[in-house]
Amino acid sequence: MAQSIADRRDQEFVLHEMLNAADLASHERFEEFNKKTMDMVLSEARNLAVKELLPANKEGDETGCSLENGKVIIPSSFHRAYKLFCEGEWVAMCDDPQFGGQGMPRVLSMAAGELFTGANCAFLMYPGLTHGAGKLVEEFGTDEQKKIYLKNLYTGKWAGTMCLTEPEAGSDVGNLTTTAKRNEDGTFSITGSKIFISGGDQDLTENIIHPVLARIEGAPAGTKGISLFLVPKYRVNADGSIGEPNDVICTGLEEKLGIHGNATASLAFGSKGNCTGELLGPENKGMKAMFVMMNEARLGVGLQGFGFASASYINAVNYARQRIQGVDLTRIFDKNAEPVAIINHPDVKRQLLHMKAQVDGMRALMYYTALCFDKVLTAEDDAHKDTYQGLIELLIPVVKGYITDRAFEVCTQGVQVFGGYGFIQEYPQEQLLRDCKITSIYEGTNGIQAMDLLGRKLGLKKGKPFMDLLTQMNTTIAQAKEMEELKNMAVKLEQAVNKLGEVAMHMGMTAMSEKVLDAFAVAHPFLDITGDVVMAWLELWRAVVAQPKIKTAKKKDAAFYQGQVKTAQYFISWVLPATLGKMEALQSNIPAIMEMPDTGFAG
């Protein structure tokens, strides 16, 4: 069975009919990116994804990466894919062309990224982390650092990583032990070890630039004393040429559940006392620099989860149309009944509709959040810019946390639709499931995303971003109420939106009371209900766009538009009632979690 990666028609629907992304071309920043150009970019991205990245995915999973005589070897097929990826200038899609970028809107890069991630996420992590390192240089580097590093990173000539995690300092970054000692020439001697470094070493590029968090000798304890350094694998001379090795040693590669094609490395810095780094940004402001990049990084992880789910769903749909097994249930006693495709069986259709509802909602949320980034850049005044930035801050933990949780569920159902074939390696579903799991763990576990939503984002700017989001939802509800076919759904969503407002106020007040631990014990369920309501809003928005087009569209498009409405009906009729039940539970408090004695658990 030929593998697929994404529903092109739905991509176009969200971009052009729902979000009107091509309107960005009215702003001089994006004037080149009209609808025709956007469609051309997506066609090129799909072509690269299907012809080059997807075929390399299976080898990447089966062969994996190896450490041989101190050298990391990655899957051979990744080399050609990387060369073509860089030649197409895909590393820095949204960035300044003078540094090797394409300058495209982020919403368009999100659509292209869905294709790349769904085709081969393990591969995409190499250029993805490279872009992240480049962004740090662009935001915090000196003019000299930008001159030396930026174009080399944004064109993919050099690779980049992100070195935060240590054996005893995972999510608690402030507990790191890597040190930086001042040198007379203004550089620093770096000593320490980092683990779980994606793309930490590889044989794709001539150099790897490691942004490393470390503590300068004498700096304060905790996160307040952390600085950020640029530490290249090979030293870089003043003229930009590559010099001698920099005492950065790969000490091992992790054997992982998934993403086998990406080298997850343990790195030793300065084990021979000869590792040099240069300060990136102000001293003791390393965590602040990393948090500036956190929105982009967490958006990227949400994209990974979504890419897996999108691919698993479209594979399941195609398989269900092709797999002939069993007769139509209404003809079960007809001895002459011919077997039918399993998509005709009610339970399979239920599974596919649930997958579709989740994937459609994810796509709308990913693209909408990306569009908010573009709106910040094109806002007509500071008030609009502030509104869109606030929506970004609020939605990021939902994008990263909620989407990656739901994506794993979709990938699980994707295996189920294939039945026994879904469980074997001949088909793609089991790899998508394995690869997807990491997305709920790295770049801040989803428990941390939930704490971020409750502890920081809910009360941000006195709650204005949250109220702005509710306003967006109510605008869609008002539009739906004007359509007889959607009125009932609008009323149900309105009830959920109002209830979400009540629960948010309750959670916020509880978090500021003596019951603070009880509040954070259910932060993740609060993230879930927030995500459910956001998804329901986006499903209704889709229906508002689609409903008027059903009668006038050609047969195939009419079915597509009808599918939008039916998907919204399913989500709002089936998922939201359970969400309302969770809201009732949250308002009633769940003290049993914190009252449970430690010794009351197993063992």
Range of the domain at 49: 8-154
In a domain, 255, yes or no: yes
Which residue, among 546, 545, 570, has the nearest Cα to 558 in the 3D structure? 546
**134 and 215 both lie in a single domain:** no
**140 and 256 both lie in a single domain:** no
Which residue, among 504, 503, 567, has the nearest Cα to 536 in the 3D structure? 567
Q: Please say which residue of 109, 127, 154 terminates a domain.
A: 154
In a domain, 265, yes or no: yes
Q: Please say which residue of 136, 154, 172 terminates a domain.
A: 154
Q: Strand runs (DSSP E) across 78-185, as ranges? A: 159-160, 179-182
Residue 1: its pLDDT value, please? Answer: 63
Q: pLDDT digit string (tens) for 548-568?
A: 999 999 988 999 999 999 999
**168 and 135 both lie in a single domain:** no
**23 and 88 both lie in a single domain:** yes
**209 and 108 both lie in a single domain:** no
Q: Please say which residue of 106, 124, 154 terminates a domain.
A: 154
**220 and 85 both lie in a single domain:** no
Q: pLDDT digit string (tens) for 53-105?
A: 999 999 999 999 999 999 999 999 999 999 999 999 999 999 999 898 999 99
In a domain, 325, yes or no: no
Q: What SS3 class is residue 189?
A: strand
Between the alpha carbon of residue 325 and those of residues 179, 333, 472, 476, 599, the distances in Å are 62, 16, 45, 42, 51
In a domain, 379, yes or no: no
Which residue, among 323, 307, 309, has the nearest Cα to 419 in the 3D structure? 323
Q: Using 50, 70 and 90 to split pLDDT, how confident is the model at 2?
A: low
Q: pLDDT digit string (tens) for 140-184?
A: 999 999 999 999 999 999 999 999 999 877 667 778 999 999 999
- Other beta carbons within 10 angstroms of residue 184's beta carbon come to 5
Mean pLDDT of 362-384: 97
pLDDT reading at 589 higher than 90: no
**135 and 220 both lie in a single domain:** no
In a domain, 173, yes or no: yes
- Residues carrying an active site annotation: 443
Residue 58: its pLDDT value, please? Answer: 95
How many helices (H) and strands (E) are present in the chain, helices listed first?
A: 20, 14
Q: pLDDT digit string (tens) for 438-457?
A: 999 999 999 999 999 999 99
Mean pLDDT of 360-389: 97
Distance from C-alpha of 83 to C-alpha of 374, rounded to nearest angstrom: 29
Query: For 158-246, where are the alpha helices, taking DSSP H only?
Result: none
- Into how many domains does the chain fold? 3
**68 and 137 both lie in a single domain:** yes
Q: pLDDT digit string (tens) for 358-370?
A: 999 999 999 999 9
**232 and 105 both lie in a single domain:** no
Q: Are 85 and 156 in contact (CB under 8 A)?
A: yes
DSSP 84: H
Contacting residues for 431 by C-beta, under 8 A, at least 6 apart: 57, 58, 61, 258, 425
**CATH label of the domain that carries residue 56:** 1.10.540.10
In a domain, 34, yes or no: yes
**18 and 146 both lie in a single domain:** yes
Residue 145: its pLDDT value, please? Answer: 97
Q: Mean pLDDT over all residues of the chain?
A: 96
In a domain, 403, yes or no: no
Q: Using 50, 70 and 90 to split pLDDT, how confident is the model at 3?
A: confident
Q: pLDDT digit string (tens) for 464-523?
A: 999 999 999 999 999 999 999 999 999 999 999 999 999 999 999 999 999 999 999 999
**261 and 169 both lie in a single domain:** yes
**146 and 230 both lie in a single domain:** no
Residue 174: its pLDDT value, please? Answer: 72
**CATH label of the domain that carries residue 239:** 2.40.110.20
Residue 19: its pLDDT value, please? Answer: 98
Mean pLDDT of 182-195: 97
In a domain, 482, yes or no: yes
pLDDT reading at 115 higher than 90: yes
